[in-house]
Amino acid sequence: MKARVTVMLKNGVLDPQGEAVKQALNSLEYNNVESVRQGKVIEIGLVETSKEKANKSIQEMCEKLLANTVIESYEIEFI
């Protein structure tokens, strides 16, 4: 079973990397770009047949290692 975890900064948390990308796009004359938020995507392959068990396991991984839940949120998608 394979899952994709998307980790993003929570709304209201300053995103300096996203701001740098926005400024770079504006300097390339993409002036219609209003905002950019940058995150990370992690694909995880599990030896698991139960989607419920896999989801629980991945949530634990996110809480313990993959996301800083104080400033980041995460979304799990099975692919």
pLDDT along the chain (79 residues), means of 10: 97 96 97 96 97 97 98 97
Query: What is the secondary structure of 15-33 as a DSSP string?
Result: -HHHHHHHHHHHHTT-TT-
In terms of pTM, does the model score above 0.85? yes
The CATH number, out of the four listed (3.40.50.960, 1.10.287.130, 3.40.220.10, 3.30.1280.10), of the domain defined by the range 2-78: 3.30.1280.10
Residues 6+ apart with CB under 8 A from 48: 1, 54, 57
**E runs forming strands in 1-79:** 2-9, 39-45, 72-78
Q: What is the model's pLDDT at position 69?
A: 97
Tokens of 59: 């949530």
Q: What is the DSSP letter of 54?
A: H
Tell me, what's the pLDDT at 24?
98
Parse the chain into domains and list their residue ranges: 2-78
